[in-house]
Amino acid sequence: MKGGDYRAREANVYRLAEVSNNIIDQCVAQGVPFAREYGGMLANRSFGGAQVSRTFYAKGQTGQQLLLGAYSSLMCQVNAKKVKLYTRYEMEDVVIVNGRARGIIAKNLVSGKLERFSANAVVIATGGYGNTYFLSTNAMGCNCTAAIQCYRKGAYFANPSYVQIHPTCIPVHGDKQSKLTLMSESLRNDGRIWVPKKLEDAKKLQRGEIRGADIPEEDRDYYLERRYPAFGNLVPRDVASRAAKERCDKGYGVNNTGLAVFLDFSESINRLGKDVVEQRYGNLFDMYEEITDESPYETPMMIFPAVHYTMGGIWVDYELQTSIKGLFAIGECNFSDHGANRLGASALMQGLADGYFVLPYTIQNYLADQEVWPKVSTDLPEFAEAEKGVEAEIDRLMNIKGKRSVDSIHKELGHIMWEHVGMGRTEKGLKEGIEMIKKLKKEFETNLFIPGSKEGLNTELDKAIHLRDFFTMGLLIANDALSRNESCGGHFREEYQTEEGEAKRDDENFFYVGCWEYQGNDDKAPELIKEPLEYEAIKVQNT
Ligand SMILES: Cc1cc2nc3c(=O)[nH]c(=O)nc-3n(C[C@H](O)[C@H](O)[C@H](O)COP(=O)(O)OP(=O)(O)OC[C@H]3O[C@@H](n4cnc5c(N)ncnc54)[C@H](O)[C@@H]3O)c2cc1C
């Protein structure tokens, strides 16, 4: 609750904590190789925002190992013919029949054909919207098309401004880059974050005249340990990211762009020995060296914050049902449990809890509440109409026949988002950002160029559909940020900070989930509906 800066639902967080141990048992049973103590018990380590070691992990690849465990179990079900996979398909629209979600329109990405699927209920698990910022740690295919299409059909979008910017990513190195790489938060267990104390040393680093190792211990500013002695380097992500930005804004950045800080392992290598550090983080160090050509065993890593996770998402009730009956949202694409900031390891905890321990029960409540289910035919006019709508959108985009590639426009959108709707937001900056997004959207709609045709495989067309929705998303994020006149978690409004530069919440006026309701077309401002937060057991605190 504190990690989410008191903007999460108490009941949801309670439930998540309740079922979280089951997740570990479930995943161990699936074969996930969690780290173990010498005696065979599962090992724990600490993560940002936690003062105790309570995170189960698999070296520096927990997420990937959980994914492999889930995939292998899924493939057992596929083999047993209980699940049929439609790979290389993308959902383009949700079909509503008599007020209930009863199917989807999907595009076969290989043939380019649209197909209709009917169902008793629809569950979207389509991930977050971090790629609105173009550069993020997310996979390049991540997009928000399904969520935004559900929003257009009436599902509320909650807390879009809560975007997590992760402190430990490899810094941006040029404008030809299309992806950023995360260095796991676990590194902050043993790595110490610092910048030079003296501005002249920072300038020399920026010009490449000296290296980090040349700066003596007494001239290093371990700013997180200095500002937050209780948590040290393991402060929550939003705090660590803002602190890095603050130092770099003041000119203390350590690379040629001035947008990087050091993450240094020299002390832990001396204390624990290289072998132990290698055992804990070897794969991450190798990855860093492959990308930057520098060995973190010999020279401190350089890191900078990057967009990583989105706490906002499709609004769901306690049963994970959206405001459209029969439409459910799970995982990162819903807003459910993290409030204004997500703690390390909680994304997979929530996604796995939703999928294994919540939805299987709550969806039954929905299904049991129905009379005998009539089989819905995909020949119904609702399906035809939805398909026609998707087809018309594809034709519209293909027929723009302008001059600019999808990526060039997306990159520009990302730049606006980062500069105006990023780590430090202001009323003026947000208003400017909103105007710039609207202007760029016009450019997208009049000057976009998609090569090839809509038949067959056309990844540029698919990216254009995603970009159309990133525009809607960008405006949602910016408008939500503008309406929330306070700072909390991943949403930092520079006007609302303490003298020490910490986020200043306004619990009196903003103790709610902000749900945005679509008003019929993309150019019309959505309406804000407030879901008040109710806490029974937890006392909201200010420290
Ligand atoms: C680099 C990195 C490291 C991370 N490390 C950790 C960690 O250690 N611990 C932790 O707890 N969390 C971690 N996270 C966060 C966590 O991995 C994500 O929050 C989590 O994977 C989200 O799961 P999801 O299933 O909800 O969405 P995703 O994993 O994003 O999956 C969504 C899927 O839906 C598909 N999709 C999207 N749109 C459509 C559409 N229209 N039609 C059909 N399919 C669609 C996508 O292709 C994708 O396969 C990390 C994230 C990143 C990026």
The whole-number pLDDT of residue 543 equals: 67
Q: List ligand 1's pocket residues with C-beta within 6 A.
A: 62-63, 90-91, 125-127, 137-138, 141-143, 145-146, 182, 309, 331-333, 345-348, 351
Q: Which CATH architecture has domain 381-510?
A: Up-down Bundle (1.20)
Q: Whose CA is nearest to atom 45 of ligand 1?
A: 126
3-class DSSP string for 412-475: HHHHHHHHHCCCCECHHHHHHHHHHHHHHHHHHHHHECCCCCCCCCCHHHHHHHHHHHHHHHHH
Strand, coil or helix: 13:
helix
Tokens 């904590």 correspond to 17
The whole-number pLDDT of residue 263 equals: 97
CB 484 within 8 A of CB 426: no
Can you read off the two tokens belonging to residue 457? 């495989």
Domain layout of the chain by residue ranges: 167-305, 381-510
Question: Helices in 221-321 by DSSP H: which ranges?
Answer: 223-227, 237-249, 266-272, 274-292
- Centre of ligand 1 to C-alpha 322, Å, is 19
Handedness of CA 66, 67, 68, 70 (dihedral sign): positive
The whole-number pLDDT of residue 345 equals: 87
The whole-number pLDDT of residue 35 equals: 93
Q: What are the catalytic residues?
A: 237
Can you read off the two tokens belonging to residue 118? 């009917």
The whole-number pLDDT of residue 426 equals: 97
Per-10-residue mean pLDDT, the chain, length 543: 95 96 94 95 85 86 92 97 97 96 97 97 98 96 97 98 95 89 89 97 96 94 95 89 93 95 96 93 93 94 96 98 98 97 91 97 90 82 98 98 98 97 96 98 98 97 98 98 97 93 94 98 95 96 79
pTM assigned to the model: 0.95
CB 305 within 8 A of CB 165: yes
167-305, what's its fold? Flavocytochrome C3; Chain A, domain 1 (3.90.700)
- Centre of ligand 1 to C-alpha 127, Å, is 5
The best mutation among 91, 135, 142 to test binding of ligand 1, ranked by most ligand atoms within 8 Å of the C-beta, falls on 142
Q: Whose CA is nearest to atom 37 of ligand 1?
A: 126
CB 322 within 8 A of CB 328: yes
Q: Whose CA is nearest to atom 14 of ligand 1?
A: 347
